Amino acid sequence: MSSKTDWTWFHRLGSPRWFYETTGRWLPWLGLLTLLLLGTGLVWGLGFAPQDAKQGNSFRIIYIHVPASFLALAGYYLMAIAGAVGLIWRMKLSFMVMKAAAPIGAVLTFLALFTGAVWGKPTWGTYWVWDARVTSMLILLFLYLGVLALQYAFHSQEAGNKASAILALVGTVNIPIIYKSVDWWYTLHQPATIKFTSAPSMHPDMFQPLLVMILGFYCFYAVALFLHTRAEILRRERKSSWVRELAIKEAGL
């Protein structure tokens, strides 16, 4: 008589091979969905949505800027959670996911900053402005770069993973503190408030393509994450038999 919970599903989840084979099945569909959502959203947003009364057509940058910002922040939490799971349950796969999430999140944060800067020029006349949102995004980029740098600074893969996980967790506690501090700092120093079109007050014709783009970016993130993790799995598990068989099959030996 067993009174213990059946944890096999959890341990199976931790198997790199299982992850590789399952994501291999999902990827074609996810990829298709991503292309569909992003394609539709972009065409809709760039060509069909009405332009903003004050900002003209450059407001269309929102269709990339906002989803990128969302995913940049969400991606950091995902990375930190993956790190925590890896530390607590010593799950190799979780560390691999954490390692994969870092460059993706860093690129998305950079895109958020870049599109924000390009958007700022025609709107406020300057590429850079130290407002709360931009400053917080910049700090997020530094947090990502720190995790990336730490990951590769150690000789031992395991030490690098654990150090990055600790740093990511410390960063997670800090993110709300940083965002609140910067927000407070900005309202303290801000003479005139410049608001760009915020989501709730947006006309539905402008908001709907944004929703599509956000969903599309989520799917894109999943695809990128799976691809990066799969590559990492192959690198790390190259001594195992299933990888060797796969390599033989691919090479046609």
Partner 1 sequence: MKMQFDNFQQLWDMAGHGPFVWTSVLVSLVMMIWLIVRPLADRKAALQDVARDIARTAQAKENLKGDS
Partner 2 sequence: MSRSLPNGFTAYLKRDLLLAYRRRGEAASPLIFFLLVSTLIPLGVSPDPARLAELAPGIIWVMALLATLLSTEGLFAADHQDGSLEQMLITPQLLVMPVLGKVTAHWLVTGLPLTLVSPVIGLVLSLPAVGIAPLVASLAVGTGCLSLVGAVGAALTVSLRRGGLLLSLLVIPLYMPVIIFGSAVVQAGIDGFNWLTPMAALGAMLGLAVVLCPLAIAGALRLVSSN
Considering only 82-90, 138-146, 181-189, 226-234, which stretch makes contact with partner 1 by CB under 8 A? 226-234
CB half-sphere exposure, 65, CA atoms < 13 A: 20
**24 sits near partner 1 (criterion: CB under 8 A):** no
The full length of the chain comes to: 253
**90 sits near partner 1 (criterion: CB under 8 A):** no
Q: How far apart are CA 126 and CA 5, in angstroms?
A: 59
Amino acid at 28: P
Three-state SS for 52? strand
> Interaction with partner 2 in 82-101: which residues (CB under 8 A)?
87
Q: Are 120 and 65 in contact (CB under 8 A)?
A: no
Using CB under 8 A, which of 149, 170, 199, 247 touches partner 1? 247
Q: Which two tokens stand for residue 110?
A: 């950079």
Considering only 1-9, 39-47, 136-144, 150-158, which stretch makes contact with partner 1 by CB under 8 A? 39-47
75: nearest Cα among 103, 114, 101, 113 = 101
Q: How far apart are CA 104 and CA 56, in angstroms?
A: 31
Q: How far apart are CA 207 and CA 54, in angstroms?
A: 17
For 32, 44, 89, 129, the CA distances from 6, given in Å and listed in that order, are 35, 48, 16, 54
**121 sits near partner 1 (criterion: CB under 8 A):** yes
Considering only 4-12, 33-41, 157-165, 200-208, which stretch makes contact with partner 2 by CB under 8 A? 157-165
Residue 220 binds which entry of partner 1, partner 2, none, CB below 5-8 Å type-dependent: partner 1
60: nearest Cα among 190, 236, 205, 169 = 205
Q: Output the smallest distance, CB 207 to partner 2, in A.
A: 32
> Interaction with partner 2 in 126-145: which residues (CB under 8 A)?
139, 142-143, 145
Considering only 79-87, 105-113, 140-148, 164-172, which stretch makes contact with partner 1 by CB under 8 A? 105-113
**162 sits near partner 1 (criterion: CB under 8 A):** no
Q: Output the smallest distance, CB 123 to partner 1, in A.
A: 9
Considering only 9-17, 98-106, 136-144, 155-163, which stretch makes contact with partner 1 by CB under 8 A? 98-106
Using CB under 8 A, which of 60, 65, 162, 230 touches partner 2? 162
Three-state SS for 56? strand
Q: Output the smallest distance, CB 16 to partner 2, in A.
A: 22
210: left (phi over 0), alpha (psi -120 to 50) or beta: alpha
**163 sits near partner 2 (criterion: CB under 8 A):** yes
Using CB under 8 A, which of 91, 108, 167, 213 touches partner 2? 167
Q: How far apart are CA 230 and CA 165, in angstroms?
A: 19
- Sites of contact with partner 2 (CB under 8 A): 87, 139, 142-143, 145-146, 149-150, 153-154, 156, 158-159, 162-163, 166-167, 169-171, 173-174, 177-178, 180-182, 184-185, 188
